[in-house]
Chain A
Amino acid sequence: MTDGYHIIVCGSLVPDPLQTLEPVPGSTPPALKNEAMLPAVLDPWAAHSLFEAARLARETPGSKVWLVSLGPKSRLQQLMMQVAQKVPFELVALDGPASGFADAAEVAAALAGAIAAIPGLDRSRLLLFGGCASASRDAGATLQMVAEELGIHDQFLAVDELKPAADGSLRVLERIEGGRYLASVCDGPPLCVGWSTGSLPEPPNSPQIGMQNMRAIMPALQRAKPAPVGSQDLAWLDARVPDQRRDTRIVKDASTDAIAAEIVAWIRS
């Protein structure tokens, strides 16, 4: 058995998926139009990993959860107003761009540095969590680089389930091709888990948890170190929203038979 896990969740803000996104024409590196004004949410897969971390911590006495976020300080503060009410965690903030166009390698180096500097972090109990990919860069690369930098060589991606066993080992289910899971057993921490959806719904808001979290969040935001990450070695040639609009033919008032026949002909064509 374990004395509890030290769970680090890496996750930051992304534009609300319901927003229309457009790049600033000609900007190098690319940037989103009105980026600072777009309503933001906690990156969805990272959010799942935070909820899974909280459950594991609740079920494993002695555990603790940190959320490590790199983003513009003022926007992180707004994000925390939503997230802090969900589950208990301690924030480690880094003040820098949350742009998807910042390179995974630079972001990973900044995150790994911040994690390594967390006082009292016990690496032998460490579970490094995050989303399997972000809704911004959508690379699915940052977490593995952070883990590699921290010397964690048991890594899992697109995970829906992580179950501790009595002997301290952990059983992991990873999504693989064809709607299947790869099941693995790892001897124990440290390990790195990039979560997919997991199995937990979004927790309801708890003002009590929110108040507890916020006491430490404000000082954490004040302490946030600058992390001017970018995409140093990338030469950008183009960034655009391709015209995906189709000329939709709307078939109304046709008989079921006619529609079905047309669909079958199309499937076979």
Chain B
Amino acid sequence: MEHVLCLLHTDADGAVPQPAREAVTTALRLATELGGAALAIGVIGAGAAAAADQLAGTGVERFVAVDGPDFASSRYATDAAAAAAIARATEATVIVGPATARFARTLPGVARRLGGRIDTQVTGLAVDAGRVIAERWYYRQRIVTKASRTTRPWLLTLAPGIASPWQGEPGQANAERLAVELSAAEQRTRVVGIEQASSGAAQTIRPDADLLLVAGAGWTKKQADGQPHVADAARLVLGFLERTRASLGSSKSLVDQSAEGGAVMPFMTHLNQVGQTGSTPRHPKGLATCCHGEEPHVVGWRFIRERRAINLDPSCGWARGKADVLYVADAFEVMAKVNALLDGAS
């Protein structure tokens, strides 16, 4: 019989972040589909025991916490020690957790430490005849697979957005606090702060936004009058983001220009890049502007459900089955009008 552990961490405020709540939903379903397998919830971080109370309404019998200031920071050595301790204490055979930056760093090493195996960025979990089956993508969102494993513990980090976040009443989880002793060697790293990546103060990457706006290199190219209009482009893009709270993505060509010191769009960094060597964001809608829609870019759109593009070129990549709608038009003109319409209504 499997012992399922839902492994979570708190956020900077000691709360249970959304990806963790999504993992709770999946773990609850998994335990049920496994015929009532034992289920425990483990929480790591400052305020972990109190965060467990937020999940008391799940009805899960066992909560385990590794709490305290030593575990507040997102740091490999302490997170790995805590995760391994919780996995051992709960005799977990299947461990699910959110694919956050914190767990993406830590859980692979924990799998090794526990003599287990790991699958990361899992996009679906099912149970068939008592066997857990994981869906994940290979070759940067090009090939999707389903597979099962025999080695235990089996760790799985869940991609964001594959389940709705668990919602319910807080209560008394009575989490057991595990004492994890740390050696000096496990405290050689100190987290010293969080920095905004872009030079502008504005945060442009918003993982929870309903809409992704992608800007391509076309925004910096010479336009019909033979001149580039980069300042106008930056104003239009930022203006759209302010009005819609959309998240900003970019093609590689545009961020490379920014990185090479061109006065392109000061708020654009490599972190905005979508695609093969960029990110694969998850948003219900995406609008591509001045971006050609080449394959290494579009692989990053795998989890964008509705896709539209504005491009001057009717035979750009988006026209070839990559977008639902392609507007063959000048993005400068269209986005200026879009911003005006958004103002008119507000």
Contact = CB atoms under 8 A, between A and B. Distances in A.
Contacts of A239: 138, 143-146
A181 B197 contact: yes
B76 A266 contact: no
Contacts of B302: 244
A154 B76 contact: yes
Interface stretch (B20-28, B62-70, B172-180, B182-190): B182-190
A252 B328 CA distance: 5
Interface string A152-195: 01111110100000000001011111111111111110000010
Interface string B207-234: 1000100000000000000000000000
A98 to B, nearest CB: 12
Interface in B99-149: 100-102, 104-106, 108-109, 111-113, 117-121, 133, 137-149
Interface string A48-86: 000000000000000000000000000000000000000
Interface residues of B, number: 98
13 contacts: A21-B143, A23-B143, A139-B119, A148-B112, A158-B105, A160-B197, A183-B195, A186-B190, A197-B277, A235-B149, A244-B322, A256-B330, A264-B345
**Residues of B contacting A: mostly:** mixed
Interface string A217-245: 00000000000000001111111111011
B320 interface: yes
B15 interface: no
A180 B12 CA distance: 14
Nearest to A196: B270
Contacts of B342: 264
Contact of A180 (B150, B195, B320, B333): B195
Nearest to B187: A187
B198 interface: yes
B201 interface: no
Contacts of B76: 144, 153-156
B162 interface: no
A114 interface: no
A127 interface: no
A237 B337 contact: no
Contacts of A238: 144-146
A166 B109 CA distance: 30
Interface of A: 14-15, 17-18, 20-23, 30, 32, 44-45, 100-101, 103-105, 108, 135-145, 147-149, 153-158, 160, 171, 173-188, 194, 196-197, 199, 201, 233-242, 244-254, 256-257, 259-264, 266-267
B321 A233 contact: no
Nearest to A99: B138
A107 to B, nearest CB: 12
Contacts of B111: 105, 141, 145
B251 interface: no
B336 to A, nearest CB: 8
Interface of B: 74-77, 80, 100-102, 104-106, 108-109, 111-113, 117-121, 133, 137-151, 185-186, 188-198, 203-207, 211, 244, 259-260, 269-273, 276-277, 285, 287, 295-296, 299, 302, 306-308, 310, 314, 318-330, 333-334, 337-338, 340-342, 345
**Residues of A contacting B: mostly:** mixed
Contact of B244 (A138, A143, A145, A267): A267
Q: Which 9 A-B pairs have the closest CB atoms?
A: A179-B205, A260-B337, A141-B108, A245-B321, A155-B76, A144-B108, A148-B109, A144-B109, A157-B105
A141 B122 CA distance: 13
B197 A184 contact: no
B139 A21 contact: yes
A180 B197 contact: yes
B341 A236 contact: no
A183 B195 CA distance: 7
Given A139-B118, A235-B147, A267-B285, 19 more contacts: A17-B140, A17-B295, A21-B142, A105-B111, A135-B139, A157-B104, A177-B100, A177-B101, A185-B192, A236-B146, A239-B143, A244-B322, A246-B322, A246-B323, A248-B323, A259-B329, A264-B338, A266-B306, A266-B308
